[in-house]
Structure 1
Amino acid sequence: MTDTATKIAAGLEQAFVEYGFAEPAVEALREAAGVSMRTLYKYVPSRGEMVLSALEHRHRRYLAHVFDGLPEGGPDALDAILSRIAQWMAQEAPRGCLFHAAVAAAPQDGRLRELLKRHKGEIASRAARAAGLEAREMDLSLIFEGLTQSWPLHGEEAVRSARRLADGLTPA
């Protein structure tokens, strides 16, 4: 991504986090991106492309936040992943998963559904490899989804519950 494309994607991501997907007009999105209308449309030629660009940017940021510099393998890696997901939810997504919100706002958009599937799948597969739980990828996916979906209602209690469930995956 070029610096301009990254700047646009970051601004769009923050606009969608703050206002959701239905509310912001293109002018508000342009303002959030900090570029002219011409530049915005050069890089993201439609509102749908704006959403995808913002979510791709968020996907990369999330993966870096959760997986960069993890402890080596096993329970320590899994505990760090859960802590980092909780930190992300507290700081970046207190109202819930932006990917799910995007699909809820445009349920017929196949590209959004595919992006959601890829995002969640990559998280689960990377976590399974990091924790040495390759055979438990679906279990990890369900724990992470439970955590991110219940965070807005239960906060830290959701993290404690996710940890209890994750403890059941690791050999004693």
Structure 2
Amino acid sequence: MIDTATKIAAGLERAFVAQGFAEPNVEALRAAADVSLRTLYKYTPSRGEMVLAALEHRHARYIAHVFDDLPSPGPAALESVIIKIGEWMSQEAERGCLFHAAVAASPRDARLHDLLRRHKSDVAKRAAIAADLADRENDIAVIIEGLTQSWPLLQNEAVTSTLSLARLLRR
């Protein structure tokens, strides 16, 4: 059984993925979270808090999906990370990165900018450690960001290109 905060965050995440950040009204968000309006506001007292809760939940799911059960650190682990990101994009983010979409919807929200930075930094750091290339974290960040940003246009071809670029890091 999941706790109420997780249930709410999961429902909000689903609503924002399906409808974007501008469209769903509070009633739609409440229905997606499957709680009363009072409970929704108890855990997320504003729309901004709802967005943050959804993105924090998504971050945790993404990290688990991409970084659980990797091979030993090295080239195979980095390839696995890239393939798992491609799977995530295919299954969870066909229209692109939800974190970037949130910032685009509220460009002046410093908390969203901070969360975006933290998410991308965490992914790059974990990928660099998995690749056994801690000194190439920025290069890996750019390669992975290229994959997530090009996914809506290139889809699986973006994964193939990303794998090719990742192999160049070892040279």
Instruction: Output the TM-score relative to the length of structure 1.
Output: 0.98
What residue number does 1:16 align with?
16
Q: Deviations over 1:59-86 (max 9, x none)?
A: 0000000001110011110010001000
Question: What residue ranges of structure 1 are gaps of 5+ in the alignment?
Answer: none
Deviation at 1:89, TM superposition (A): 0.1
What residue number does 1:75 align with?
75
Count of aligned residue pairs for this structure pair: 170
Q: How does 1:19-98 map to 2 (within 5 A)?
A: 19-98=19-98
What residue number does 1:151 align with?
151
Matches of 1:159 and 1:83, distance apart in 2: 7
Matches of 2:57 and 2:125, distance apart in 1: 19
Is 1:7 the counterpart of 2:33? The answer is no
Matches of 1:46 and 1:126, distance apart in 2: 32
Deviation at 1:130, TM superposition (A): 1.0
Matches of 2:120 and 2:166, distance apart in 1: 17
SS at match of 1:153: helix
Is 1:128 the counterpart of 2:128? The answer is yes
Runs of at least 4 residues off by over 3 Å: none
SS at match of 2:170: coil
Identity of aligned residues (%): 67
Matches of 1:40 and 1:128, distance apart in 2: 38
Deviation at 1:143, TM superposition (A): 0.6
One-letter amino acid of the structure 2 residue matched with residue 87 of structure 1: E
One-letter amino acid of the structure 2 residue matched with residue 77 of structure 1: A
What residue number does 1:101 align with?
101
Q: Deviations over 1:114-172 (max 9, x none)?
A: 0000000000001101110001100100011000000000001111110110000124x
One-letter amino acid of the structure 2 residue matched with residue 143 of structure 1: I
What residue number does 2:141 align with?
141
SS at match of 1:148: helix
One-letter amino acid of the structure 2 residue matched with residue 128 of structure 1: A
One-letter amino acid of the structure 2 residue matched with residue 59 of structure 1: H
Question: What residue ranges of structure 2 are gaps of 5+ in the alignment?
Answer: none
Once superposed, what is the RMSD of the aligned Cα atoms? Answer: 0.7
